[in-house]
Each structure stands twice: as C-alpha cells, then as structure tokens.
Structure 1
Amino acid sequence: MSITAAMVKELREMTGAGMMDVKKALTETDGNMEAATDWLRTKGLAKAAKKADRVAAEGLIGVAVSGGRGVAVEINSETDFVGKNVDFQNLVRDITKVALETGETVEVLKATQLNGQTVADVLTDAIARIGENLNLRRLHVLEGTTIVSYVHNAAAEGLGRIGVLVALNGPEDKALEIGKQFAMHIAATAPLALSEADVDAAVLERELAVQTQKALEENAESAKPKPDAVIHNNIIPGRMKKFLSEVTLLNQAFVINPDLTVAQAAAEAGVEITGYARVAVGEGIEKVEEDFAAEVAKTLQG
C-alpha cells in the first residue's frame, strides 16, 4: 500500500511523532493507522494525543436529573457561536427535559412530542431559524439510587461542553455532597470504565500487545537483560496494572485527595459508585481541515 502525505500528516497529528518515524511506522504496518500508532507506542515515539485537537463538532451537552434518573444529551452545531445563542440553548434545554421524561434512545427521543411537534421536526425548524445544521447525536441515560450531575464549561444552567452523571448508593446527603466531587473528577480525567471488569476486552488485548512488545524490545536492547520470567511475570503485569489504575474510575487517584483512590474516597464517605457517564461535545468526530486559500483559488477558477 502506498503511503500518502495525508496519511503521514494524520498520524503525526494523532501521535506527535516525528515525520521519519511516522513514515517508517506506516511502512512497517502497510498503512494501517491503528497498527502504526501501536508501533510508535512500542518504540516509545508516540506522544499523548489530544482528542480535542481532532474534534470539529460544536454545540452543547444538556444534563438533567430527577430522582434516580439522569440524562445527558448532545446536540451539535457547526460553530461554537451557536452554543452562545439563547435560542439554541433553550432548544437543548427543552429537548433534555423531554429526554428525562421519556427518552431511552436517540431514535425514540426524535419521535417524542415537544410543543405539538416531534423533536425531529423541532430540530428541522431550528435549523431554518438559526441558519446552521444541527444534529441530535447522543443520549445517555443513567439510573441509580442517587444521581448527581455536573456540567463543565457551562454556557448556562445544565448546559455546557462536558456533561457528567454519577450514580451512587448510600445516604442521599453524603451521596449528593461527594458525588459532585466525583463528577468533577470524571470531567477532568475521562476514565474509560468504572472498574477493571468493565474495560473492553479489545482495549485490554491491544494494550497488552503494546506493553509486551515494548518490554521485550527494551530488554533485548538492555546491557543487562532480565530473564523472560521476570519480563512476563513482573514487568508486563506491572505495566498493565498501572494502565488500569489510570483508565478505570475506581482505581484512579482522586484528584481532590491523590493519596486515596476514588473507590477509597467513596468508602470513606460511606457511599458506593455504581455507574457514571461522561459526554463531551464532538467526541469521536474527526476535524475536517479546510484549505481556505485553495478553496478561494478554486472558486476564482470557476
């Protein structure tokens, strides 16, 4: 497979690695982006990629809670200016309220009535009125004994760039108090899963492959190589344990008191975290970069 300049550019932006390293990674993996990323990580050449740098979608997350039920709704717009538009804010707030009452999926929510119209039709009218394409992209529902919500980068009450929901068991007053702290922690750390048991098997398999290859290559290049048993029974499991402590909520160091894990902080408060949701505007949508000069030149050429 031929390696194009666009592929090199994309992988450099994803990993922060140098151009020659990126080219070699793509060549070694026959142009497979995911495999090339892992190859760079194995060699210690990939830097932490910031997903936000690749996100093009704008808009708002709406959150609402009632009793033991909470919802987080993402509605996208084309520009961030729309997020400051009161009309758009009211739209997101109204749809979030409907979701809290009846929504289970995006499809069900779009078919639900809002002010005498379906939510889908309300969105269509808003597109014509606001002048930008709007998209009801995601709905997350969380249920539990006590649900606590938090909005980061708030544009208005219950509306912002990141919406978090946390479900807790335990005395309601304690759950509400520390639940807000846990929600803020989740907004900041973006855990992949609640606990080790909840981590996707494919994610674990991929990480294990990377850490195994990395450890073996480091050992092969070491002036004092360690026995294979040490590599497989100590070093690799140790690195996987560190990985899980960084990506699972209950095992993360609590940002408000790093001497405790989140699970330990919950236990000290007399509560248990049973679930969470973190929804950020534009997550997973790749940025479409436009060459403005080229676009103008093309227009002038007719």
Structure 2
Amino acid sequence: MADITAAMVKDLREKSGAGMMDCKKALGETSGDMDAAMDWLRTKGLAAAQKKSSRTAAEGLVGVATSGTIGAAVEVNSETDFVAKNDQFQSFVREVTHIALATGADAEALKAQAMASGTTVAEVLTNNIATIGENQSLRRARQLSVSQGAVVSYVHNAAAPGLGKIGVLVALESAAGDEVLQGLGKQLAMHIAAAFPKALNEADLDEAEIERERAIATEKALAEGMKPEFAAKRVEGSIAKYRKEHALVSQLFVMDGKTKIADVVAKAGKDAGAPIVLADYVRFQLGEGIEKEVGDFAAEVAAASGVPQKPKDDQPAS
C-alpha cells in the first residue's frame, strides 16, 4: 500500500474541496493515485448528491450579466439562504451566468457546457452538492439580445455584484445613445422588479389564466345576484382591467403612478431624437413557483437530540 502523506491529502483537498478524511480515504483506496482519487471522490459525491436530490431547493441566487446588445439571466437554487453567501456557490452562479451570456443556452443545454476548470456545469454542480452539503439545481436560464441598442440589467436584494434574489433584463432596440438607454433601461428594470408584469403585451398574456380570472369574476357577479347579461358586461370590464394591470407596456410606471410604460418609452425616444422599442424583458425571482417545505424547527431539534417532544394542545399523545 502506498504511503499517504499529509501533503498528498492537502493537495487533494484543495483540488476537490472534499473533507480531509474523505481525501485520505480516497487516496488509500486508490494507492495514492491523485487522478484516481479525484474520480473516487466524484463517484462518492454523485452518490451523496442523489441522496440530497429529494430535498426542496428554493433558495439560492439569480445571476444576471450583460455585454452591449446581449444579456443573460440564470437561477441556481439551494436549500438554504446560507449557501447564497458561500463564495464557492457565488462563483459557480457567476460563471454559469457568463456561459449563458456567451452561448445563449437554456438550463438543460447549459449543463453540458464546459467551465473554466474543463469539467461540465453539471459535473461541477454535482461536486458542489457533495462539498457544500445541500441539494442544488440549475433551474432556468435565458438570453436576450437586440440588433441595435442595449440590454440592461438590474438586481434587487443583491448579495454580490450581478447576484441577488430578483434579476431583471430589459432589451431596448434603438439607435439612441448608450447613456440614454442605460438610464431608461435601469428605470424600467426597477419597475419590472416591483410591478411583476406577466407579459410584455396584453396579447401575450396566458389565455388559460385569463379564463380562470373570467370564471372567478363571473361566479362572484352571479353570487351577488346580478342578472347574467349585466354580469357578463362587468366580467369583461374586469378582464380588460386585468390585462392592463399585468401587461408591462400598459402598466402605470411605479415612479409616478400615472404614466403608462408605453408612454414612458415613447417620450424617452422623442427626447433622445431616436425611436426606442421595448423589445423584451426577463424577470427571474428566486424560488418563484417552487412549493417550499414548511418544517417544525423545534421538532427537528428535538428529534436530533433524542429528547421526546410534548404533544401540542390539539394533538393526542402517542
């Protein structure tokens, strides 16, 4: 059996990010072969990742990056907010965001892309799960681009530059100067972060969602005793209001509460002497749509300590 030195263990630990005892065992299992030990750790890391994969990951970070006429947004989830403060996790999200910026790949395609280390995004993510100790997932990614103009980014609740809980991209098609587009784009992005539009235009709204709203409004009107013909008119009025409130271009600008976004963009173009088109946007909010598990922290602590917990008033003792 090869003599495993402290220097070898230290070297493997620095390369892999794994724990000291795991590195020592890996070297012992592979007779001191560093590459084989790395593979051994990755194999064990994969097993660890599979065990953690059933745990809900609704925290993490949203990353945004731009380069002139191109921008990208990525969401990477973890189980707890603590991981979002981890340098290893932040570096991973930042690099993946820039890969999305360069390639335009969606989340699934991104997993096969190579990182600076030479390994794929999926492989690095698996190793991160093993070394950080939490389930993590690359949930979504999107790239925006314009032929002329700018894509502007904004991060709300930033944990680090370009990383936070809400990431927004705004694509502006125009021949106007970059200073004008950056200023307008930043204001629009802040509006989008706050107002949460569901689509760019009214025609782009999800018709299934519109029908749900129509059914709710109809049931409410009939329950109030309105005649069907009058109820139908009120329902259509409610739907028209819903469309205006949830389509970005018809929303009222949060900065003044009275000007439609379409008019804000039109005025900016007129002042700049060049038309500006709000071509598209992206709004990623961390954990949006993920059903989070609600745990009983006291019960978890009691279970871990082996101390039996007293039943609550409305629950019989077992």
Q: Shorter-chain TM-score: which interval?
A: 0.7 to 0.9
Give the C-alpha shift of residue 67 in structure 1.
2.6
The one of 114, 121, 124 aligned to 2:123:
121
Per the alignment, residue 75 of structure 2 pairs with: 74
Q: Secondary structure at the match of 1:163?
A: strand
Q: Contact 2:76–2:93 (CA<8 Å) still a contact in 1? A: yes
**For 1:189, which of 175, 178, 195 is the aligned residue?**
195
Residues 217-236 of structure 1: pairs in structure 2 closer than 5 A:
217-218=223-224, 220=225, 228-233=228-233, 235-236=234-235
Q: Distance in 2 between matches of 1:62 and 1:56?
A: 16
Distance in 2, matches of 1:228 and 1:95, equals 54
Q: CA deviation at 1:301?
A: 9.1
CA contact (8 A) 2:104 2:142 kept: no
Counterparts of 2:245 and 2:283 in 1: how far apart (Å)?
Answer: 16
Letter in 2 for 1:274: A
Q: Encode CA deviations 1:37-89: one digit per residue, 9 max, x unaligned.
A: xxxxxxxxxxxxxxxxxx96111011011232211111111111111122211
* Cα displacement string for residues 160-195 of structure 1 (whole angstroms, at most 9, x for unaligned residues): 110001111222432221111000000011111111
How many residues align structurally? 241
Moved more, 141-150 or 253-262: 141-150
Check conservation: 2:57, 2:77, Cα contact below 8 A.
no
Structure 2 residue 171 is matched with structure 1 residue 161: no
For 1:201, the equivalent position in structure 2 comes to: 207
Q: Greater relative contact order: 1 or 2 (C-alpha under 8 angstroms, separation 6 or more)?
A: 1
CA contact (8 A) 1:56 1:286 kept: no
**What residue identity is the alignment partner of 2:86?**
N
1:232 to partner: Cα distance: 2.2
1:91 match: 92
Looking at structure 1, the residues matched to 231 and 88 of structure 2 have their Cα atoms a distance apart, in angstroms, of 59
AA paired with 1:279? F
Q: Percent identity?
A: 52
Letter matched to residue 267 of structure 2: E
Q: Give yes or no for contact 1:70–1:142 (8 Å, CA) kept in 2.
A: yes
Given residue 258 of structure 2, which amino acid in structure 1 is its aligned partner?
D
CA–CA distance in 1 between the matches of 2:265 and 2:191? 12
Where do 5+ consecutive residues of structure 2 fail to align?
Answer: 1-55, 270-275, 309-318
> Which of 271, 289, 297 in structure 1 is aligned with 2:294?
289
Corresponding position of 2:11: none
Give unpaired runs (5+ residues) of structure 1.
1-54
**Counterpart among 190, 193, 215 of residue 221 in structure 2:** 215
- TM-score if structure 1 supplies the norm length? 0.74
Per-residue deviation, residues 99-156 of structure 1 (Å, max 9, x unmatched): 1111422121110111211111111222233222221111122222421110100011
Of the three residues 279, 289, 292, the one matched with 1:274 is 279
What is the RMSD of the two structures over their aligned residues, measured on CA atoms? 2.1
CA gap of 1:56–1:130, structure 2 versus 1, over 3 A, is closer
Deviation at 1:229, TM superposition (A): 3.8
Displacement of 1:231 in angstroms is 3.2
* 3-state DSSP of counterpart to 2:197: coil
**Which has the larger displacement, 169-178 or 282-291?**
169-178
**Cα distance between partner residues in 2 of 1:265 and 1:143:** 21
Contact 2:170 2:281 in 1 (8 A): yes
Counterpart CA distance in 2 for 1:200 and 1:259 is 25
Aligned CA distance change for structure 1 residues 199 and 62 (closer, same or farther; 3 Å): same
Whether the 8 Å contact between 2:75 and 2:140 is mirrored in structure 1 is: yes
